[in-house]
Amino acid sequence: MQSEARQIGEVLPVVHPARLVAIEASPSLSRNLHAFDPRKLPTRIDDETLSELAAMASCRLPAPAACPDGRFMEMIVTLQAVLPSRNQNEVAQAVLVATYRKLLGHFPERVIRYLEKAAVVRCKWFPTVKECLDLIAEVDTTDPLLRKQSAVRSLVDRENAARFDDAMAALASGEVDQAWIDGLPDQWKQIAEVRMLLWVHPDGSYTLRRSALA
């Protein structure tokens, strides 16, 4: 099970000791996602980098590119040349090609390359659509960019959880000022009040519990 801090960090906004970090998403950020290398990140992430990562994690990704028509037809021609077909009629062949393009053409080129190689080695006849789909099922068809976005989202969640832990530790130590407390997200202040780290007042404000007891 995830820790309480990680669960909270995944759903609450990013917090800085004196302010919230504004995060906006843009579809164009998918280009930045292509170039992003998580191995170059430090263990802890600063505000500016975290904002950029959060934007990449939430941006709309372009649909994966389908296999180009020319490349798809190369596969069909290769399979027709290597594997005997059960349908020799030219009209049937034309319908077959159109049908295969309609049902399989949306897969990316890397998947079609795998299908071509696997069919040549493992099929005795020109494969049916069902056989093609069975071979394709052996490939991870998830968009690599989507996997990368998921990894970036995990980095953002990890930093948010770490910041939440830092905030609770700072409140427990009592070494914070009122402006810092006021800058915390309301949800974090509510949790801190339940943990007996903050007092909540009738006007909705929060103050450090240790200060109130002093």
Give CA–CA dist 22/34, Å, rounded. 23
- Cα 212 from chain centre: 44
The domains of the chain are located at 4-61+144-176, 69-136
- Token digits for 70? 């020319």
More confident residue, 142 or 51: 51
Q: According to the model, what pLDDT value does residue 41 have? A: 85
What percent of the chain lies above the pLDDT cut of 90? Answer: 50
More confident residue, 30 or 173: 173
Long-range Cβ pairs for the range 54-58 (8 Å, 24+): 54/14, 54/21, 54/23, 54/25, 54/156, 55/23, 55/24, 55/25, 55/26, 55/29, 56/29, 56/30, 56/32, 56/149, 56/152, 57/149, 57/152, 57/153, 57/155, 57/156, 58/23, 58/25, 58/153
Q: What pLDDT, in 10s, does the model give residues 86-99?
A: 766 665 777 888 89
Give CA–CA dist 96/56, Å, rounded. 41
The helix/strand/coil state of 164 is helix
